Amino acid sequence: MDRRRFAAAVAAGAVVPVVAGAGQAQAEGTGGQEGLRRQMVKALTGALGDRATAEAEVPRILDVCFDWAPPTVEPAKVDFLLAYAFGNRAPAGGGDPAKVRYEPGPVNRELADTVARIHRRRKVPVYAQWEIAHFLTDVHGLTDVTSIEPVVAPDGTITYLSTYGVAAQVAAARKGLPGGIGTAGVVGFRDHVKRCVLTTRLAGIASAGAPAGTAMPGTYDPRSGQAWTPCGYF
């Protein structure tokens, strides 16, 4: 079960009265997003006994559980591309996974292909986690790529950066540029990219969005070595 199906199942179980009411609302010509919002407010008000809290929480529930579309930016306005890895595979040759890099895996190859397609139309600098950068340089021949590497301790222990850690590193690298940080075109796995955009903004790259009109890779890798990515829990 991937994350979308899981979230849909949880949401369905949590808002059975809402869904039932939504059907009636649609029959009365008051359906759609606004009709769903009203039904959810009504149901949550009944459960909490507090309409003000329901009014405050329903938009968050709608955003997290029902809206999977990332904020976007027009490709012509992108100053640089920022690509986040997803779904590494365990080291092919074995060894201590704390000290041997994971394999990039097929999902990151697809993410690199996506970056390369955008780059052909909009030749801007690329910042990419190393799993993606590897394919961009070795397969696609891009030269304006900055690879975001994991942190390696003196004893060889590898610490992979979080989404926020990657964004913060890129923000720090660009903040001294004459034009400032600029607008980021964020590339990420389909079910990950919205969080990537929001995290990128949180890390200080305020003008960030997925390039409009770009389809992101969305097929999970069942052989992923990251426990939260083979089936969509991340």
* pLDDT score for 111: 98
Q: Residue 231: what pLDDT?
A: 56
121's tokens: 């139309």
Q: Provide the pLDDT for residue 43.
A: 93
**Euclidean distance between CA atoms 16 and 19, whole angstroms:** 5
pLDDT score at 20: 42
User: Residue 63 has what pLDDT?
Assistant: 77
Residue 81 phi, psi (nearest 5): -105, 140
User: Which pLDDT value is given to residue 91?
Assistant: 86
The DSSP annotation for the chain comes to --HHHHHHHHHHHHTHHHHHHHHHHHHTT--HHHHHHHHHHHHHHHHHS-HHHHHHHHHHHIIIII--PPPEE-GGG-SEEEE-----B--TT-S-TTTSPPB-HHHHHHHHHHHHHHHHHS---EEEEHHHHHHHHHTS--SSEEEEPPEE-TT--EEPPPHHHHHHHHHHHHTTSTT-S--EEEE--TTTHHHHHHHHHHTT--SEEEETTPPPP----TT-SSTTSSSS--
- Asked whether the beta carbons of 135 and 104 are under 8 A apart, the reply is yes
Q: What is the pLDDT of residue 92?
A: 82
Residue 39 neighbours by CB under 8 Å, 6+ apart: 17, 18, 21, 22, 25
What is the spatial distance between Cα 62 and Cα 55, in angstroms, rounded to a whole number? 11
Residue-level pLDDT at 10 = 43
pLDDT at position 3, please? 53
- Residue 73's beta-bridge partner residues? 211
Q: How many other CB atoms are there within 10 angstroms of residue 200's CB atom?
A: 27
pLDDT tens digits, the chain, 234 residues: what are they?
455 554 444 444 444 444 444 444 444 445 688 888 999 999 999 999 999 999 999 888 887 777 789 999 999 999 999 999 998 998 888 888 789 999 999 999 999 999 999 999 999 999 999 999 999 999 999 999 999 999 999 999 999 999 999 999 999 999 999 999 999 999 999 999 999 999 999 999 999 999 999 999 999 998 887 766 655 444
State the CB neighbour count (10 A cutoff) for residue 228: 12
Q: Tell me the β-bridge partners of 159.
A: 151
What is the CA angle 10-65-85, rounded to 5? 105
Q: What is the pTM of this model?
A: 0.80
Nearest-CA neighbor of 115 among 188, 20, 43, 219? 188
